[in-house]
Chain A
Amino acid sequence: MLYEGSLKENKLHRDSDSLLIKRIQEGDINALRGIVDKYKDVSFSLACSILKDENKAEDVLQDAFLKVLMNIRKFRFDSSFSTWLYRIVVNTCLHANEKKNKFLIDKTSEIEFKESEEKSGLELVLEKERKVYITTTLKMMKPEEALLLRLFYLCDLNISEIRKVTDFSESNIKVMLHRGRKNMYAILSKITGNEFNNLI
């Protein structure tokens, strides 16, 4: 029942997207506002997974939406719009990040405990908010792991859709997701300490 409900919800999403996309393809720029409003936060979260800098992520996201507008006539409804959009967002972020060369899939995934630049440990402990903890955790994780976790759990994409977005092989995605989950809980337990059980 839950699965059927989710399928119906997905179909509704796709239908509303299709209407907006057709309007944009016909030249109605205002329809783009609907698409931007709908996808900006999820896309922003994905961009932050790669870039680790919210200001830069917002600029890059604007470029990504501009690319969407410029290429929207090429979209043929063969795949879901969200998958197509996330692919553009991820590619634009990777291109922006190219010089830093942060996104390496061959790197062995070891947990790197870096100090958060924005908040001290004490502030984090005081805030004790789930959202702050999980956002900080994902920020501390490797870009590809944080990205895959968000694509899988936040965007609700399946493995083959993630493959279309990232170009990673399916086995690679499964391995990185497993590793990502493990690392996420390890970092989370490290930064939350005794609060870990209350948090989840």
Chain B
Amino acid sequence: MNEDKTRDLIKDSLLHTSDQFTENFMRRIEFRDSLSRNFFRIFVISILCCTIFVFLISKIKSNFTFPHIPLQIPHLSIQILGVLFVFALLNKLILLREKILKLM
């Protein structure tokens, strides 16, 4: 068969998207952008809260009695636990953001 005829035939196979395709896509992008901005705010607030939390943890007394047994936890262990907690929290936040962005 002639190449031009084949070309003409296949040019006729052009399919069209629905009328709202572009609008839906632009709305999706706007929503995604606003979500990213909000997540950034939440991220900053979380970091601030975590910093305060770590600061407070570092002030905890390392010697205390519970209930009548005297306990002594090294200061460094408390600080390490605090930092691990902060990292776990931030990790959860990032994972949550990724999940939401994937769903969109």
Contacts and interface: CB of A to CB of B under 8 A. Distances in A.
Interface of A: 29, 32-33, 36-37, 40-42, 44-45, 48, 54, 58, 61-62, 65-66, 69, 130-131, 134-135, 138, 149-150, 153-154, 181, 184-185, 188, 200
B15 A44 contact: yes
Q: Is the interface of A mostly helix, strand, loop or mixed?
A: helix
B59 interface: no
Contact of A153 (B11, B15, B17, B24): B11
B17 A29 contact: no
Interface residues of B, number: 24
Q: Is the interface of B mostly helix, strand, loop or mixed?
A: helix
Interface string B4-15: 011101111111
Given A40-B22, A181-B1, A181-B6, 5 more contacts: A32-B26, A36-B22, A37-B22, A41-B16, A58-B21
B28 A66 contact: yes
Interface of B: 1, 5-7, 9-18, 21-22, 24-26, 28-30, 32-33
A66 B22 contact: no
Contacts of B28: 62, 66
A32 B32 CA distance: 15
A44 B17 contact: yes
